[in-house]
Chain A
């Protein structure tokens, strides 16, 4: 590393570097360029078409005074935290159970992974029907004799976001399970044997030995779950379209509605800039810790 000053360094692996140029350009122009363009225009009074009439922080002031935006943020927080915890816990438990050398493992794995093959739109519609009080779960339980049974999350503003969460978990947990299973399979058999010889109970082996060894798998999983959370949009649109009222709105839907439906690009850009900011607030400290950790270990 000390000899980076040598000019020949630049021309090493020339063909690989040339091959990477299109991707580098795409990343710079499309991602960075478009991001900067968006941030700049969030300070303007753009309506249906972008313009450059600067208005300072007006769009942001308006954004944070909107009840709908605050509800969106709250919903995203609830959805995010719950889906992070539950998909990790359920995914890991399922994987641990499948790892007990059970019969028909392949069949179970397919069943659990199958929902992941469906799009969020289909998932949303299916769960809209399942949770519909007139012909879903409530109807079935009532027809079993429990006449007073009430289960209508999609029609109750207080708990509607949990109805969305159920659908999201159903769709995504299978993938988490598979990742975890791959991680578990990567653990050396000898470690299990050693733990058994020492008489360590199984749950302790998982919590104190196996899970710490699966650090890399957990981090990958967390990144996948987190990126899914921030962009949650289609599930809400298909399942509740933000309703009842505005009780299940999410930030991505706010951005879309303002940019295209309400013809107010400036406001939509301000909201999307806030989304970007919240992602950066999480990602930068994490990336810093992660890469710093790598170096000190190496």
Chain B
């Protein structure tokens, strides 16, 4: 008995200096759906195992809700330990204002430039030759998710591309199934549009409009075809009155809807619902037409802090996030692709393998989030969500307004 108390007391005294070294870091992110929360728990586990403490600061909503909160905290002088953002334009001004921690030192020591694949992801983190963020995954929005059960009910084969999907829609309607599930948030309608631009308009059109901001391309006949296809998709989604993307995914999982255009993060939801890729659901990258993916993704930024202990912990977290084990554990749960080419992903499912193959073949595109400013994105989102919800706007009107936005884009 006495021995035990003594041992406990010893442990306690020994534990105190250890705890003093451990640092609490608050991490803000907007990963709150089932699959996302499971993935972020992997980061937290790895960080806690290292002796520090992960203080979870999840912000419900979506990027659009969370980002203003995150940015106003950083600008307002109450920085968190680390935060999720999409790399590229969103944090540009914060970096330029000197509010973010420079990670170049560890990046060079660990040779990030050699192991990050595609290396463009790291470029998104680089401002004036210095690295300010850790890319953690590759997400591509260009996917069509299809419910096998819904097609079985309707008595048609599961489509293999967008045209077949459109052709099968009337059968689904007859069976009382909404052909296309669509959440009513503006970013989702924009995502669908960008995806259809790749599938219907082709890769060159996508690149010249998004990367080069070429207003002539936006006014071209190819773009008109995209708008017409988009208008057709609008009528396919009639009857899907949901808001969040995961509610729309849930319509596909429960066979209330035939399909959904959504990024590969939808995969996490299918996994949580115990669905098997290829058996219960099918995924078509690039809507099955042009098998390419845009390599957007999430990254973690570390706001500058005066406390050297916190800075040290931030650097520990940064190198952990990019390490092999954490990358595998995180991305398997998240349904996204890892940012390094040298990890073993035998556990990956059907859909992830499709993605990995496209990545290995180099069929990649820049993502809108990374090349357009938040301002331009916001205007496009407003236009798309207005178009999607009001049938009196014709495809031609929408295109005219789209061209005007691209003309002023920065």
Contacts and interface: CB of A to CB of B under 8 A. Distances in A.
Contacts, number: 74
A244 B389 contact: yes
Centre residue among B93, B382, B385 by max chain A CB count within 10 A: B382
A244 B184 contact: yes
B275 interface: no
Nearest to A237: B65
Given A155-B241, A260-B71, A262-B375, A243 B389 contact: yes
Interface in B76-102: 90, 92-94, 97
Contact of B97 (A49, A256, A263): A49
A261 B69 CA distance: 9
Contact of A261 (B67, B97, B388, B390): B67
B117 interface: no
Contacts of A264: 374-375, 378
Contact of A263 (B375, B385, B390, B408): B375
B64 interface: yes
Interface in B104-128: none
Given A261-B64, A263-B374, A49 B75 contact: yes
Given A48-B93, A49-B75, A245 B390 contact: yes
A2 B92 CA distance: 62
- A contact residues, range: 20 to 34
B243 interface: yes
Contacts of A62: 408
B401 interface: yes
B409 to A, nearest CB: 12
Nearest to A65: B404
- B contact residues, range: 20 to 34
Interface string B219-232: 00000000000000
B271 interface: no
A155 B401 CA distance: 24
B68 A261 contact: yes
A218 interface: no
A178 to B, nearest CB: 35
Nearest to A259: B68
Contact of A67 (B378, B386, B408): B386
A47 to B, nearest CB: 6
- List the 10 shortest-distance A-B pairs measured between CB atoms, nearest first: A245-B389, A260-B68, A262-B378, A48-B93, A263-B374, A244-B389, A264-B375, A245-B386, A246-B386, A262-B375
13 contacts: A48-B71, A48-B92, A49-B97, A67-B382, A67-B386, A133-B241, A243-B184, A245-B385, A245-B387, A247-B390, A258-B378, A261-B378, A263-B373
Interface of A: 47-49, 62, 66-68, 133-134, 155, 157, 241, 243-247, 256-258, 260-264, 267
